[in-house]
Every structure is written in C-alpha cells, then in structure tokens.
Copies of this chain bind each other. A is one copy, B any other.
C-alpha cells in the first residue's frame, strides 16, 4: 500500500464531521442533501468535506445521475485498519502490564 494513500486516509479521518459522514454511509448510500441534514452545516460546507473524502478514495459516487449518492469505499478503511492492527500487540501488552500493576497495588493495600 503506497504511503501517500495512508497519508490521505488518515488526514481525511482527522475531522469529526468527515468521520460522522463515513459512519452515516456505512449504513447505506446517501445524497449530499441527505448527508447535510443531520449537521448544522450548509451543503457547500458538507460538499467540501465530501471532496476530501472522495480524493482520499474513502467514498465514491453511485450510478444514479439524479441523486448522485455517495457510497463508502472499503479498501482505504481496510488498509488503515491493517496498519493500526500491527500495534495491537504493543498496546494490549501495555494494558496487561498496567492491569497487573494495579492488581499488585490493590493486593498490597489490603
């Protein structure tokens, strides 16, 4: 996976509105008007966020020319997850050591 793709994916995810748009699209395709509705945002503001998501390949446009629904794309999400999964062993290990330390402290207190 090219580093530029991961750069674009993570940059696109670094915004709460864009993450909320992806969450909405995970439930099914939606037009720009449908996507704008739950946000206190103008359609042009939403369109800007959609452009960022589209350029990153996280969403694409469906075939219906009238509605132009946006749909979620699987691959960049899968690749970003894959990248982060490499660190699971690290953070699970850290949390286990913290848990063990807390148990030890509790045992000493009693």
Contacts and interface: CB of A to CB of B under 8 A. Distances in A.
Nearest to A91: B74
Nearest to A22: B87
Q: Is the interface of A mostly helix, strand, loop or mixed?
A: helix
Contact of A7 (B6, B14, B86): B14
Interface of A: 3, 6-11, 13-16, 19, 22-23, 26, 72, 74-75, 77-78, 80-81, 83-88, 90-91, 94-95
Q: Which 3 A/B pairs are nearest by Cβ-Cβ distance?
A: A74-B91, A74-B94, A10-B14
19 contacts: A6-B13, A6-B14, A7-B15, A8-B14, A10-B13, A10-B14, A11-B14, A72-B87, A74-B90, A74-B91, A74-B94, A74-B95, A77-B84, A77-B87, A77-B91, A78-B91, A78-B95, A81-B88, A81-B91
